[in-house]
């Protein structure tokens, strides 16, 4: 009886790990904008792609829906989320509330080696900005998000780290939909200024720079409500 229970537990753990790996892979594709908002994610296609059952595929998609990255619609299936302009505003409002607090927590605990790690991230980000092509662009986007996630990790608050993980991913979706420029969605020089302020222990300035940085990202979004018109109205003089 005990061996049967153990076998069941191992099977459950394996299934959970499998679903998590699929969730991570799809999440990375969304964050790096390889999967566009509105893309259909059928359980069968996901299962075939990762060579797993539809049950595991469904679990992974459900996990992503809890994070706001996937929308599950009755009788239609799952899609990469398509955030509305109002949802986009709320995401950046949340970042303005959360990130200065995370920054202060991180600055209180940061070590010289962690400062060096942040500087290495900036060097990598700067290197990628000079390269062309979709692969480099995706890597640059990931590096930009990693800067914010690394600060959250340094803060030592696991709850906030998971929250930032979701906010950065959802911000990427918003930028993919509403971003107007082709420049990096997360200014490289602004990251450097934030690190410099942390290093000299000027936390008020670091927080001010973080808020300016988030506002800069949001300012590049076109969040106006675009009223759709019919065919006849479109051709009326």
Q: How big is the CA angle at 231 (ends 175 and 227), to the nearest 5 degrees?
A: 40
Q: Which of 229, 65, 115, 95 is nearest to 167 (CA)?
A: 95
**pLDDT tens for each residue of 59-117:** 999 999 999 999 998 889 999 999 999 999 999 999 999 999 999 999 999 999 999 99
List the beta bridge partners of residue 192. none
| Cβ-contact 68, 91 below 8 angstroms | no
Q: Which of 22, 67, 75, 12 is nearest to 45 (CA)?
A: 22
Q: Rounded to an integer, what distance in angstroms lies between the CA atom of residue 53 and that of residue 44?
A: 8
If one looks up domain 85-219 in CATH, what number appears? Answer: 1.20.120.530
Q: Who has greater pLDDT, 4 or 50? A: 50
Q: Which stretch of DSSP H or E encloses residue 156?
A: none
pLDDT confidence of residue 13: 45
Q: Rounded to an integer, what distance in angstroms lies between the CA atom of residue 98 and that of residue 121?
A: 22
Q: What is the mean pLDDT of the chain?
A: 84
The structural domains of the chain, with segments of one domain joined by +, span 2-80, 85-219
pLDDT confidence of residue 134: 65
Give the DSSP letter of residue 133: S
Residue 179 binned pLDDT confidence (cut-offs 50, 70, 90): confident
Question: What is the percent of the chain where pLDDT is above 90?
Answer: 58
Question: What is the percent of the chain where pLDDT is above 70?
Answer: 80
Q: Thinking of the domain 2-80, which architecture would CATH place it in?
A: Orthogonal Bundle (1.10)
pLDDT confidence of residue 147: 92
């Amino acid at each position: 009886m005990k061996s049967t229970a153990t076998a069941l537990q191992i099977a459950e753990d394996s299934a959970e790990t499998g679903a998590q790996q699929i969730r991570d892979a799809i999440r990375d594709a969304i964050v790096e904008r390889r999967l566009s908002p509105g893309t259909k994610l059928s359980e069968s296609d996901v299962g075939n792609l990762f060579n797993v059952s539809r049950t595991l595929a469904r679990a992974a998609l459900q996990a992503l829906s809890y994070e706001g990255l996937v929308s599950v619609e009755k009788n239609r299936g799952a899609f990469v989320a398509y955030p509305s302009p109002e949802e986009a505003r709320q995401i950046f409002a949340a970042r303005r509330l959360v990130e200065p607090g995370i920054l202060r927590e991180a600055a209180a605990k940061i070590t010289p080696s962690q400062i060096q790690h942040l500087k290495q991230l900036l060097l990598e980000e700067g290197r990628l900005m000079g390269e062309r092509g979709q692969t480099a662009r995706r890597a640059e986007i990931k590096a930009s998000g990693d800067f914010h996630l690394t600060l959250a990790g340094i803060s030592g608050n696991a709850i906030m780290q998971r929250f930032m993980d979701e906010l950065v991913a959802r911000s990427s979706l918003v930028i993919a939909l509403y971003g107007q420029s082709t420049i990096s969605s997360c200014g490289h020089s602004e990251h450097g200024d934030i690190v410099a302020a942390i290093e000299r222990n000027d936390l008020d300035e670091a927080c001010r720079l973080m808020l300016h940085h988030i506002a800069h990202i949001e300012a590049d979004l076109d969040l106006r409500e675009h009223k759709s018109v019919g065919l006849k109205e479109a051709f009326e003089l």
